[in-house]
Structure 1
């Protein structure tokens, strides 16, 4: 079949699928069989049109949804992709990925969507403004305040991905950008971009995505950076050399394009001095190393390239790695039963890895396990033959007499290749790990807490993540090479300096943090969060500002409740007998509540004082509206601070103000955070905190309750 007869991987630009002519395109082959699968055009794509469409249509449509609504769509997308996993696996096998590899890529990517959906709805407001940190008072009378807010970038995020994770690599960048409200333009790597295209097509066909929120560039897009400016973000995964060229673009240096990179990483695994052969840590170490060598055929930016072990354990480690590979690893076409490691992604990748290994051997490395020759592969159940086609490579272990050989710490063979070097002291192990000049992740494997601390703190400044492995975590660990969406994925120096993932941190990477200043009323209107000093509508007796004509805020559903609605109570006097009774009933007989002489000797107390939790309990009794109604439950307190002690004979009152209202997009209720302030009879602040309640969206459940 000729190139002209093979389908071209299409692009999705400005709301339309585009399929250019096949002539002259780059051939894409089945990594296992060498079969021609598709072509990728070399013609220039309409990058300018994609960027313009994202900045206009994409921005407009995403802005119609709140952070929570966008987070919910990620869950719906994940469910939709889950229904099509089988067909995605069939495509994934062609990339050389085994079933487990495909699970890591496909299921892992879908899992990222689920995780970000949950975290976005739990940890972010149901709005499009995120407050950052406390509010600062900038005037003596509190009439001028300052704070910080996050809002979505006003451009697009362009993601350029590597070939090794065509699904996960795309979704882990897409998820936080989508929640933030920034349109995404995906540029996948040519060898496996056909799988990315299949996922993007499923996402678009679902009808869940706002127009312009996701576009796909399959082919040449060398002028991508030319069309971006300070409004945009460029997220790159690939080689450090390419990243350096991109970072040198004038639009990054002078134009303000936000550039994030995740690049080459010579990750290390350090075996602690105590983890000798026969210990659980030694066994866990070998398991992790072999897993990292063979998952995705070692084509992982987080794979272990350097095993730094006690000098006395070098031979034992190499032998144990080889034994486990012999027992558990079967190389071949992933579609053949029994295969556990597939091919590299392309013949070009195979040539590159072989060349890197040869360079390392020429520079002083010794091949301690495996061979550079074409390996035997599983061609049928229980039948092996020397590979004649496909990008197959056997796992290899290199030994180094010189642990500081420069090429060991600078050249990456991006395949099933790992090196073993020895160290004599923990300080030497730290120094060897640091020679990688910045890595994504390192494993520290030891059951010695002191050695673990010395190793972990010693290498932390050179790594984005430290994976601590011992007998307690050997069964539960998510793995050395598995980034999780909850934690930052990235690393300093050679690793690129990026910080992808990390929960809501990565959402904020796609937003602008802006300092804002103004009056309490203006900042309340801007942020949707009540600020001290802003207007209030308080119910109460009228003695302290509350109006009896106002409806108690606990009688209001979310449909009626407004920011600034609240309640102010009358004063309640505190007696010594009540303090004593509380101490005896609860067992909290701390001397400040029971011993007048000792309490008076304490510089913080005037004598016996009321328990803080007693004051909070009384405050609830002062502000609560007891009848069933829209308030369904109290589910906690936040930011509780006790400021002024309250003694016998003093009085307290409480002011409660609706501070933040967060309707849930999937339920008939939402959260309300109430600003609570306790004052004494002298109008001194006694305590401050936030009360958290669940409130119905409409008051229907108890509409006919008669009390």
Structure 2
């Protein structure tokens, strides 16, 4: 890092390609004095209703931003691959989703409406009419993760803009460049800069920003350990949404078409090298089929091309940091030493890559069985009774998305009813998502609900008028 200004302790944050550690770009960090200025400006914007942006202006800005993103789609996809290690084929999908998300925010503004409240249900309320309207909640601070460096920012920042909230956004230190471009695009689209600020800063400074009493809403995507810690320190009155990881379970039932499900399971488990909060991690299969399913997964995993995400042929990129390869290697070795069968993988391919790995019957108390791997590892377990499989799937403190593969409607409904998850996919992998659906974790996996419309609702507040006739 190099000094940015002799009179300022801020520094430059260098960004590297996680595959070969080559330089990609840099962004300036800011100190508390600058963040304090941003917060004060944002609070004054919110307090002065004459400065609020009317809905038609917010719609116009968001629509123009979507066009600008589409015009820079190739550049953004390469940037995502370069700084985040997501293969180009998947990075292009992320950019397309980001465009859709911004357009959806513009559309959802028309749904930020109140309703009439009946008052004459009792004599006490008679002679009055009442209705509600929506107002922005106030200053939003968004802190994001590395694994979807553009689309996560869209899901946190664009709803704030749509709801009429000033927003300060701090991306992951590994992947700030996509966020910086997105904020620049919003400004180019006509959003006054003071309404959306891009920030990179030191951890202690970030915590000070998050816990500042001027913050009305805190949006966080990251680890459960950090998210719950920050929530415990929020100023009184600050609302929040936390999105953490899961240890996603898949139940395969006797009637399922095993060959047909393989591409879905491989994509769900090894997409972005497993660095997805709802990545397929635990597969429960009938005991007499578990080994065969593990071998079929292994055969598919062995064909995946691991390499630099900016190469067109790459299907699995690097892990975000070399120390994450160390951690995944340690967890897999622990499971194998405790009795798991290594069906394929189980080795590092370099300082920054790990082979797509399939484990059969790791112990239930192994880290790979009870914690989010966030790496290219799928575990397969045999079960004798589907109730046992559901109980094991539900046994952890984490609950996010789950899935079941079956041709039996009764089994599908049983899984939907009994799996502890916010979404149960039938005949699809656990990582399926479209940007307008609710997306949330239960228990340790999160707090409140993501998804464009749901986030806009969280960043708005109701006001009721009661008029005595």
TM-score of the aligned structures, taking structure 1 as reference length? 0.61
> CA contact under 8 A between 1:228 and 1:257: conserved in structure 2?
yes
**Superposition deviation, residue 84 in structure 1:** 0.7
CA distance in 1: counterparts of 2:166 and 2:393, whole angstroms: 38
Q: Which residue of 2 aligns with 1:258?
A: 239
Q: Which has the larger radius of gyration?
A: 1
Match for residue 464 of structure 1 among 422, 429, 444:
422
Which consecutive residues of structure 1, in runs of 5 or more, have no partner in the other structure?
Answer: 11-17, 125-129, 375-386, 521-707
> CA contact under 8 A between 1:363 and 1:407: conserved in structure 2?
no
Name the structure, 1 or 2, with higher relative contact order (CA <8 Å, separation 6+).
2
**Could you report, residue by residue, the CA deviation over 1:573-625 in whole angstroms, capped at 9, with x for unpaired residues?**
xxxxxxxxxxxxxxxxxxxxxxxxxxxxxxxxxxxxxxxxxxxxxxxxxxxxx
> CA contact under 8 A between 2:329 and 2:346: conserved in structure 1?
no
Cα RMSD of the aligned pairs, angstroms, is 2.8
Q: Which residue of 1 aligns with 2:356?
A: 395
**1:44 and 2:25 correspond:** no
**Superposition deviation, residue 20 in structure 1:** 6.7
Q: Which residue of 1 aligns with 2:468?
A: 519
**Could you report, residue by residue, the CA deviation over 1:401-424 in whole angstroms, capped at 9, with x for unpaired residues?**
64x436344222111111111222
**1:53 and 2:14 correspond:** no
**Could you report, residue by residue, the CA deviation over 1:376-419 in whole angstroms, capped at 9, with x for unpaired residues?**
xxxxxxxxxxx4x6x212111122264x4363442221111111
Match for residue 481 of structure 1 among 428, 431, 454:
431
CA gap of 1:222–1:310, structure 2 versus 1, over 3 A, is same
**Superposition deviation, residue 53 in structure 1:** 1.6
CA distance in 2: counterparts of 1:257 and 1:172, whole angstroms: 19
Higher percent of residues as helix: 2
Query: Across the two proteins, how many residue pairs are aligned to each other?
Result: 462
> CA contact under 8 A between 2:248 and 2:430: conserved in structure 1?
no
Match for residue 91 of structure 1 among 79, 82, 89:
79
Match for residue 223 of structure 1 among 194, 208, 219:
208
CA distance in 2: counterparts of 1:235 and 1:160, whole angstroms: 6
CA distance in 2: counterparts of 1:36 and 1:359, whole angstroms: 34
Match for residue 31 of structure 1 among 11, 14, 18:
18
> CA contact under 8 A between 1:59 and 1:213: conserved in structure 2?
no
Match for residue 209 of structure 1 among 186, 191, 202:
191
**Superposition deviation, residue 41 in structure 1:** 6.2
**Could you report, residue by residue, the CA deviation over 1:75-122 in whole angstroms, capped at 9, with x for unpaired residues?**
22111111011111222221322112212332222221122323333x
> CA contact under 8 A between 2:62 and 2:106: conserved in structure 1?
yes
**Superposition deviation, residue 284 in structure 1:** 3.8
**Superposition deviation, residue 210 in structure 1:** 3.3
**1:505 and 2:465 correspond:** no
Matches within 5 A, 1:176-195: 176-195=159-178
CA gap of 1:58–1:427, structure 2 versus 1, over 3 A, is same
Q: Secondary structure at the match of 2:218?
A: strand
**Could you report, residue by residue, the CA deviation over 1:461-520 in whole angstroms, capped at 9, with x for unpaired residues?**
x21211112xxxx7xxxx63143222111121121123011x533321111234443226
Q: Which residue of 2 aligns with 1:416?
A: 376
Q: Which residue of 2 aligns with 1:288?
A: 264
CA distance in 1: counterparts of 2:227 and 2:415, whole angstroms: 30
CA distance in 2: counterparts of 1:408 and 1:93, whole angstroms: 27
**Superposition deviation, residue 134 in structure 1:** 4.0
> CA contact under 8 A between 2:173 and 2:200: conserved in structure 1?
yes
**Superposition deviation, residue 233 in structure 1:** 0.6
Match for residue 330 of structure 2 among 321, 346, 355:
355
Q: Secondary structure at the match of 1:91?
A: helix
CA distance in 2: counterparts of 1:401 and 1:38, whole angstroms: 41
> CA contact under 8 A between 2:247 and 2:282: conserved in structure 1?
yes
**Superposition deviation, residue 298 in structure 1:** 1.2
CA distance in 2: counterparts of 1:112 and 1:454, whole angstroms: 33
TM-score of the aligned structures, taking structure 2 as reference length? 0.90
Which consecutive residues of structure 2, in runs of 5 or more, have no partner in the other structure?
Answer: none
CA distance in 2: counterparts of 1:506 and 1:136, whole angstroms: 30
**Superposition deviation, residue 286 in structure 1:** 1.8
**Could you report, residue by residue, the CA deviation over 1:440-481 in whole angstroms, capped at 9, with x for unpaired residues?**
21112111000001111001xx21211112xxxx7xxxx631
CA distance in 2: counterparts of 1:428 and 1:466, whole angstroms: 18
Q: Secondary structure at the match of 2:402?
A: strand
CA distance in 2: counterparts of 1:355 and 1:138, whole angstroms: 64
> CA contact under 8 A between 1:63 and 1:181: conserved in structure 2?
no
**Could you report, residue by residue, the CA deviation over 1:660-688 in whole angstroms, capped at 9, with x for unpaired residues?**
xxxxxxxxxxxxxxxxxxxxxxxxxxxxx
**1:299 and 2:282 correspond:** no
> CA contact under 8 A between 1:151 and 1:513: conserved in structure 2?
yes
